[in-house]
Amino acid sequence: MRQRAISAGTEVSQFRTLIVEDHEAFLQFVDSTLRQLQDVCIVDKAQTRLDAVKLAEALQPDLILLDIGLPGLNGIDAAYRIRKLAPDARIIFVTQEGSAEIVREAFSLGAWGYVIKSLSAQDLPAAVDAVLRGKTFVSNGLDGHAQLSET
């Protein structure tokens, strides 16, 4: 559910967001980037797959930004578990992994977005905006539609 906040005397709807990233510097970058978006409220952050799954179940966020390269089980495995425990959450993968096979697998699990870390300064805000409007997003350079239709 969206969190309701009062801003300048008007009610604003914000999407409750969980960030899952194991590299501290990139986690802080994502946090800082999302805090600039008025429709986003960061409810928590996780750095491991286990914490991500637990927090997704407990918090039932609207949006989850999920790294694929997590310690232990990877983000794809985490997404599979999260999808069962927080089925309404929209997942955007934010990762260095750009292979067509992984992109297809991410979307087959119900991902809404796929952002390559090297493009995240420009693509992350665009991806969040698209996903919150009910559209999917794939970083430039990844031909998401062609890759997805190959399955």
* In a domain? residue 94: yes
Look at residue 1 in the predicted model and tell me its pLDDT. Answer: 44
How far is Cα 64 from Cα 85, in angstroms, rounded to an integer?
A: 13
* In a domain? residue 8: no
**pLDDT tier for residue 70 given thresholds of 50, 70 and 90:** confident
Look at residue 147 in the predicted model and tell me its pLDDT. Answer: 40
Specify the higher pLDDT residue, 13 or 59: 59
* In a domain? residue 122: yes
* In a domain? residue 129: yes
CATH number of the domain at 125, please.
Answer: 3.40.50.2300
| Across 6-10, 56-60, 92-96, 135-139, least confident range | 6-10
* In a domain? residue 4: no
Q: Given the structure tokens 């952002």, which residue do they identify? A: 115
* In a domain? residue 85: yes
* In a domain? residue 124: yes
Residue 65 contacts residue 15 (beta carbons within 8 Å): no
Look at residue 13 in the predicted model and tell me its pLDDT. Answer: 72
Residue 13 contacts residue 4 (beta carbons within 8 Å): yes
Number of domains in the chain: 1
Give me the mean pLDDT over the 40-63 stretch: 96
Give the domain extent around 134: 15-149
**pLDDT tier for residue 2 given thresholds of 50, 70 and 90:** very low
| Across 68-72, 83-87, 146-150, least confident range | 146-150
* In a domain? residue 82: yes
